[in-house]
Structure 1
Amino acid sequence: MIARLVWIATLAIVAVIIAGLQLDRQTRRTSAIAQGVPELFRSAAQFPIAANALAGPDPVLALSEAEKLVSRRPMPAEHLRVLAQAQFAAGDYNQGTLTIQYAAQRGWRDPLAQESMLRLALSAGDKPEAARRYAALFLRRDTRDELLEELGREVLAEPEGAGRTTLVDIVSGGERWHNQFMNRGARVMPPDAFAEIVRSTIAQGARYDCGLLEQAGRVVSARDEAIGASFAEIVDDQC
């Protein structure tokens, strides 16, 4: 009899554990149920809970939930980024700066971490690092053009400066994204910076599709007629 009760109790405990783990896993698809996951089983559920707390009015609660998130799942860069945001909101700027650096090093695909690192690099006067972060954002199709325009005005402001020369090296070494650079760069980069980068990469051996060059030239001309005229010379020389 006792053995049977122990067996039933064991099955009940296992069932509770499995239900808790399944509920936690389901939050990856349905984040609204995260608060319903018992504290003991929160892993995936902790991310939406921390994110919701961060959007709320209590920075102390946001920091507490973000610390729980990182203690339970420390690897994803997005989790470190949430912790950094919570630290900034709580006024711990030094620790927040360190945390966002760790997040950006760990996850080049996290756009908010990259943007934060870009702005930190600009504040420190490190244009090469800012240009590398700009390239990471540029390659993400979901990065807003308006953000790239805003950041490009700062990163690529100086003719033949460190920001532009760093991007020249990146574009020259990345033939697989030449088409994306040509299509998007003409729209979002400062026209003179875009023309300089195209000219410099061609000098380093890059070869662009003539149709894309001509299309980019039209976009540049619509934004800046004088730069468009000089860009037409690049097109003539290349094609």
Structure 2
Amino acid sequence: MSAKVEFDATFTSRSGQTRDRVVIEKVIVGGWTGRDKAALQHHIDELAKIGVKPPAKTPLFYRVGVSRLSVADAIEVIGDGSSGEVEYVLVNHKGRIWVGAGSDHTDRVVEHMGITVAKQLCDKPIATEFWPLDEVEGHWDKILIRSTIHEDGKDVVYQDGGVAGLLSPAELLGHLRADGGELGERTLMFGGTCGAIGGVRFSPRFSLELTDPVLNRRISHSYDVVPVPILG
């Protein structure tokens, strides 16, 4: 018997909205997926400042336990050394690929010891709305990603960019197949992020959004980050 996560989701297309039960049995995190080499190097450099070794190649595909996927409004983390990352996500649901949004929340303290371990330590919050990939592929580079954090008593823009700086879904899936992987049924994959404005840092609240200005649609999600005390 395989592990799985189930949740109710909204599927929004040109023909309207439907609700369906989603079952996820495998989660992949696409890392170092920048299409813009300068932006990719910026992200590598900002993580190097906190001791994260540069990747041997790009992109890389990390596995995390499916139980780490979360649709909750709050997650618990170890101490205050983690941070979120807004990303587009791809999910294969009933033979069709859908686009959504999520946060590859990662423990930055442990990250310099091993990225796979650091990613496994944190839940991965996602929004529960998805768009058909085939409806947005034609204008993919116009889609925007953005996140905000709560800092000094106010909301602050933490990331602000476009997916044009990342490998497109077709490119990313091509790399995944070249590595012997597949976005099979009941599989969800995180597609990458953009650099943090002001550096990577902890926040007690993280908000993310994926915006399609062509079809005038937006997917958003917010969650609280609750530190668990480190006692030894």
- Give your verdict on TM over 0.5: no
Query: TM-score by structure 1 length?
Result: 0.21
Query: TM-score by structure 2 length?
Result: 0.22
Pick the structure with more helix per residue.
1
Which structure has the larger Rg?
A: 1
Identify which of structures 1 and 2 has the higher relative contact order when contacts are C-alpha pairs closer than 8 Å and 6+ apart: 2
